[in-house]
Amino acid sequence: MRAPFRRYITAAVIIAGVSVSTPAAAGVYTFTDASGVIHFTNRPADPRYAGMVRVGYLPDPVRPTTVPLADPNRYSPLVKKTARELQMDEALLRAVIAVESGYDAHAVSSRGAVGLMQLMPETARRYGVTNLYDPAQNIQGGARYLRDLIGRFNNDLSLALAAYNAGEDAIVQHGNRIPPYRETLMYVPKVLDTYRRYKPTVR
């Protein structure tokens, strides 16, 4: 049995047990370890569960990879300006913004990523972003980070996108390959598909 399938079956069994033994209002605590294995419990005795978001269901393991295209003209001047200044593909920046935030400048993830390109605070500081909610600063910081990742991983766009989602260390720890994290495995094809669909519309 392949490891991802085994992990899903294990998670499903745990969830089923929780749903039988706890009230309907009870939730499940979860965390993902460094190997990408997802753990669930309704009694978080292990300190690694501390601070995790309590959820009442197991997310569907199969999600669509196609993202509805947001208005390509939204924030167009800022995206064009940044792409020109950094010599980056404008369609790629649009794709990352569409997948990361759906062009919502006030988007905040459960992990604390903020803004159009969903910058983490430490990444924002690294690139001199002082206001994560400012579209111009957020796009500039995220684009510079993505450009650096593309350079670091020898122009391998898939690896650069995986690093943007999971972090640079995760790529290195997995032998310069896309780490086997469910979120990252879905994220990379989503961005690439959106990139291909934006490409013909951007001039």
Per-residue pLDDT tens for 53-78? 333 333 333 344 566 665 657 799 99
Strand (E) positions, the chain? 28-32, 38-41, 54-55
Sign for the CA dihedral angle at 111, 115, 119, 123 comes to: negative
Q: Is residue 165 part of a domain?
A: yes
What pLDDT does residue 16 have? Answer: 40
Residues with Cβ within 8 Å of residue 179, at least 6 apart in sequence: 36, 162, 166, 170, 171, 173
177/164 Cα distance (integer angstroms): 13
What pLDDT does residue 135 have? Answer: 95
69/89 Cα distance (integer angstroms): 17
* Same domain? 36 vs 129: no
Give catalytic residue positions.
100
The fraction of the chain above a pLDDT of 90, given in percent, is 60
* Same domain? 50 vs 114: no
Statement: residue 83 has pLDDT above 80: yes
What pLDDT does residue 26 have? Answer: 46
Closest CA to 165 of 115, 99, 102: 99
CATH number of the domain that 187 lies in?
A: 1.10.530.10
Kindly provide the b/e burial profile for residues 4-24, where b requires at least 16 CB atoms within 10 angstroms of the residue's own CB. Answer: eeebbeebeebbeebbeeeee
Residues with Cβ within 8 Å of residue 38, at least 6 apart in sequence: 7, 11, 30, 31, 32, 182
Q: Are strands 38-41 and 28-32 parallel, antiparallel or unpaired?
A: antiparallel
* Same domain? 47 vs 80: no
Give 15's pLDDT tier (boundaries 50, 70, 90): very low
What pLDDT does residue 71 have? Answer: 66
Full domain range(s) for residue 29? 3-55
Statement: residue 1 has pLDDT above 50: no
Q: Which residue has the higher pLDDT, 25 or 40?
A: 40
- Tokens 């269901």, residue located: 57
Is the pTM higher than 0.75? The answer reads no
Over residues 18-30, the mean pLDDT reads 44
Give 5's pLDDT tier (boundaries 50, 70, 90): very low
Structural domain count, the chain: 2
* Same domain? 110 vs 170: yes
Statement: residue 47 has pLDDT above 80: no
pLDDT digits (tens, 9 = 90+) for 88-125: 999 999 999 999 999 999 999 999 999 999 999 999 99
